[in-house]
Chain A
Amino acid sequence: MGFRLKVEGPSTIELGTTIVTGVKFRTDIPHDSNARSTDMGSTVTITGKILTAVDGDPFDSTRQLGLWALVPAEKSDCYRKVSVEVIAASQVVRKYTYPNAFVVDYKEDYGDVEGVGSFTLTIKQKKDKMAQVAVEGGYSVS
C-alpha cells in the first residue's frame, strides 16, 4: 500500500509513497456514552521516514512538518488543510480530507543503526468544524 500526504497552508508540503509508511484514522467518541454523543472528534496519525537527499536531489519536506508543529496557536497558520490518500492496485482505497487540521503531536526519531530517521505526526480536525471532514474512497487513481 502506498500513501500520499498533502498539507496546504502558506506553503504546500507533499510527501509521497517512498516516505509515508503508515496511516491511522480514528473517530473519537466517549466510550462511556449511553446514547450517541455530540462530543465527537477525529484524529489521523501518520508515520514515515526522514530520507537524506543524495545525488543532489532536493531534501524531502519532512522538516516543514516539524516547523508546522511549532507554529503558535495565535497564528492562523497553525490550521492547515490536510489530505491523505491510501493507494493500492491503482485504486484510491481512502482519501481523508481535513480542511482545518492542527498538530497535536509530532515526533522525530533518529538512531545510529538506521540510515533514515522516522517521524510520527498526529493531527486532529478542529472540533467545531467536524462536519467538514470527508472520507472518500473506492475509485481509480486518476
Chain B
Amino acid sequence: MGLRLKIEGSETINLPETSIVQVKFGADIPHDSNARSTDLGSTILITGKILTAVDGEAADDTSKIARWSLVPAENSDCYRKVQIDVVNASQIVRQISIPNAFVVDYEEDFTDETGAGVFTLLIKQKKDKMANLKFEGGFSGE
C-alpha cells in the first residue's frame, strides 16, 4: 500500500510513499457510554522514515514536522490541514482530510544500527470542528 501525507499551513509538507510506513486512524468515543455520546474525537497516528538525502537531492520534509510539533498554542500556525491518501492498484482506498489538525505527540528515533531514523506523529482534529473532517475513498486516482 502506498501512503502519502500532505500538510498545509504556513508551509507545505509532502511525504511520499517512500517515507510513510504506517497510518492508524481512530475515532475516539467514550467506551463506557450507554447511548451514542456527543463526545467524539479523532486521532491519527502516522509512522515514517527519516531519510538521508544523497546525490545532492533536497532533504525530506520530516524536519518541518518536528518544527510544527513545537509551534506554541498561541500561534494560529499550530493548526494545519492534513491529508492522507491510501493508494493501492490505482485506487484511492482512503482519502482522509483533517482540516484543523494539531499535534499531540511527536517522536524521532535514531540508532547507530539503522541507516534511517523513524518518526511517529500523533495528530487530532480540533474537537469542535469534527464535522469538517472528511473521510473519503473508493475512487480511482493516480
Contact = CB atoms under 8 A, between A and B. Distances in A.
Given A22-B110, A130-B72, A34 B52 contact: no
A134 to B, nearest CB: 9
B135 to A, nearest CB: 19
B29 interface: no
B33 interface: no
B32 to A, nearest CB: 15
Interface stretch (A7-15, A70-78, A86-94, A112-120): A86-94
Nearest to B52: A88
Contacts of A131: 72
B73 A1 contact: no
The size class of the interface chain B forms with chain A is 35 or more
Given A135-B63, A138-B58, A25 B108 contact: yes
Given A33-B104, A91-B52, A40 B110 contact: no
A94 B112 contact: no
Interface residues of A, number: 38
Interface in A24-68: 24-31, 33-38, 40, 42
B70 A94 contact: no
Contact of B54 (A3, A17, A89, A139): A89
A105 interface: no
B102 A135 contact: no
Nearest to A137: B63
A136 B59 CA distance: 11
A23 interface: yes
Contacts of B110: 1, 3, 22-24, 86, 93-94
A114 B54 CA distance: 35
Nearest to A95: B63
B73 A22 contact: no
B83 interface: no
Name the residue in A1, A27, A89 with the highest tally of chain B Cβ atoms < 10 Å from its Cβ.
A27
Contact of A26 (B50, B102, B106, B127): B106
Interface in A74-131: 86, 88-89, 91, 93-94, 130-131
A24 B109 contact: yes
23 contacts: A22-B111, A22-B112, A23-B109, A24-B107, A24-B108, A25-B109, A27-B70, A27-B106, A29-B103, A35-B73, A35-B126, A36-B102, A36-B103, A37-B73, A38-B73, A40-B70, A40-B73, A88-B52, A91-B53, A91-B59, A94-B66, A135-B67, A137-B59
